[in-house]
Amino acid sequence: MHLLPKDQSQIRRGGETRRLAGKERRNRRACAHSLSPCLLVSLSLLCATTNGTFASDGAASFGAVARQVQPKVVKLYGVGGLRGLEAYQSGLLISAEGHVLTVWSYVLDADDVTVVLDDGRRFVAQHVAADPLTEVAVLKFDPGKDPVPHFDLSQSAAAEPGARVLAFSNLFGIATGNEPVSVLHGVVSAVAPLEARRGAFDTPYRGDVYVVDAAANNPGAAGGALTDARGRLLGMLGKELRSNVTGTWLNYALPVKAFAPTVEDILAGRFTPPELREVDRPDHPLSLAVLGIVLVPDVVTRTPPYVDRVAPSSPAGRAGVRPDDLVVMIDAQVTSSCRDAAELIGRYERDATVRIAVLRDGAFLEFDLQAETGN
């Protein structure tokens, strides 16, 4: 039973190369059974029975904690509004000067994002930086003379399964103006690697998350706070995701340690998006050509990555990749254009095994490809 898998995920900071070995992925897939709904039920039952007092965990009342935390969670309004795509989400204040940490999403895909504070004050925030790997984004607004209440990411806490937690967010956009965000309670059901997808796409983040039994990850909740019973920040609520294994909706939060170093870099002004990091470049990068795939000519900004030709005796040819296949993913990363595909494949060492997913006549096919040694 993997309650606390020691797998530290594939997201590594600094100069380490990102490698995704097939075996490692299979291990993670096995762990992911821990996220099946029946387990969530049984775990929460356990916690409810053994941790039964209303004011347990030696904490102040939830009310006092809520009033202390709510001013640090903001309501964000940006792009959206079509059915199923809400134009709002949540965010965490992380500096007195108006830095807002949130989840990178289409909502932020605007020139201006409106930030509404707990006291109803309204600001326009600018994009500072986003990390495509953890899908966190930092915005900044100018609060004027008055510093804003905020979380201190260096003072965050961690929690074990069974710990009581509170989830703060503007789920469903219920709170407007000076109305404080909603608070839900629950327990940590598991700390386990995220094995999830959004629509047909796997999430880029594969590290540990807090799985909770509160219905925390509803529309608009992304960017909210998960705290312990004392109000200490444990993590940030993520987007709505379904389990890759069971298809059920997940309730989870990214632990602070998964994004704190990145955010620290962003605040210090030394963050560069991963694709620009020279250190991330493999010594001998892989390419599609090496695998035997030639995409259609890259003529527009977002040319769909259709396969034009496949070398018959190449790894791709032997595996069965065909012309006119649409390359949709390379491992967990979505390839929305020829440029994307070329960029992504270049992040791998030449001897790495990559899983390439293609669409062919509506069918979703996956191929594990490895370049021939000696090439």
Partner 1 sequence: MTARNQRGRQKDKETRDARTLLLLSPCLLVLLSLLATSDARASDDTRDEAVLAAEARRIETIERISRPTIAIFDANGQGGGSGVVISADGYALTNFHVAAPTGPAMKCGLADGRLVDAVVVGFDPGGDVALIKLLAPDKTAEGNSQRAGSSPTPAAPSHDFPAAELGDSDTVRVGDWAYVVGNPFLLADDFQPTVTYGIISGVHRYQYPAGTLLEYADCIQTDAAINPGNSGGPLFDADGRLIGINGRGSFEKRGRVNVGVGYAISINQIKRFLGLLKSGRIVDHASLGATVTSDPDGRVVIDDILEDSDAFRRGLRYDDEIVRFGDRDIRAVNAFKNVLGTYPGGWRVPITYRRDGQEYQARVRLANFHRAGELEALLQSQQGPPNPDRPPRRGGPRRGPPDEPQPPDGPRRRGGPEPRRGGRPSRRGRGQAELPVAVKPFYEERSGYANYWFNRYHQQRVWNAYLARGDFADAGWNWKIRGQLAAGGDVEIELSQNEGAIVMPQGRSEAEFGLSLAQETSPPRSGGLLAALHLWQRLLLVGPSRFGETHYVGTLPWTSEVDLADCLAATYGGVATHFFFDPQSGHIVGIEMQAADDQDPCELYLSQFREINGRFMPHRWVIRRGDELFADLRITALEWATATAEKE
Q: Closest CB to partner 1 among 178 and 272?
A: 178
Long-range pairs for 62-69: beta carbons < 8 A, 24 or more residues apart: 62/166, 62/183, 62/185, 62/229, 65/166, 65/227, 65/229, 65/230, 65/231, 66/166, 66/168, 66/180, 66/183, 66/231, 68/231, 69/166, 69/168, 69/183, 69/225, 69/227, 69/231
Letters for 68-107 (x = contact with partner 1 by CB under 8 A, - = none) are --x------x--xxxxxxxxx-------------------
Residue with tokens 């966190």: 136
Supply the minimum distance, in Å, between the C-beta of residue 17 and partner 1. Answer: 37
* Number of residues this chain uses to bind partner 1 (CB under 8 A): 59
Q: Tell which one of 4, 21, 30, 41 touches partner 1 (CB under 8 A).
A: 41
Supply the minimum distance, in Å, between the C-beta of residue 224 and partner 1. Answer: 12
Stretch that binds partner 1, among 128-136, 195-203, 215-223, 292-300 (CB under 8 A): 215-223
Residue 173's region, left for phi above 0, alpha for psi from -120 to 50, else beta, is left
Is 215 one of the binding residues for partner 1 (CB under 8 A)? yes
Is 1 one of the binding residues for partner 1 (CB under 8 A)? yes
Give SS3 for 133: coil
Q: Closest CB to partner 1 among 133 and 216?
A: 216
Of residues 153-172, which lie at the interface with partner 1 (CB under 8 A)? 166, 171-172
Structure tokens at 20: 């995704």
Structure tokens at 240: 């709505």
Query: Between vectors from CA 246 to CA 243 and to CA 248, what angle results, nearest 5°?
Result: 60
Distance separating alpha carbons of residues 99 and 138, to the nearest angstrom: 7
Distance separating alpha carbons of residues 167 and 185, to the nearest angstrom: 6
Is 58 one of the binding residues for partner 1 (CB under 8 A)? no
Is 4 one of the binding residues for partner 1 (CB under 8 A)? no
Is 39 one of the binding residues for partner 1 (CB under 8 A)? yes
Is 247 one of the binding residues for partner 1 (CB under 8 A)? no
Q: Tell which one of 6, 15, 53, 269 touches partner 1 (CB under 8 A).
A: 53
Stretch that binds partner 1, among 24-32, 53-61, 132-140, 324-332 (CB under 8 A): 53-61
Residue with tokens 């490895």: 370
Distance separating alpha carbons of residues 284 and 41, to the nearest angstrom: 47
The contact set with partner 1 (CB under 8 A) reads 1, 36, 38-39, 41-43, 45-46, 48-50, 52-56, 61-67, 70, 77, 80-88, 120, 122, 166, 171-185, 214-216, 218-219, 249
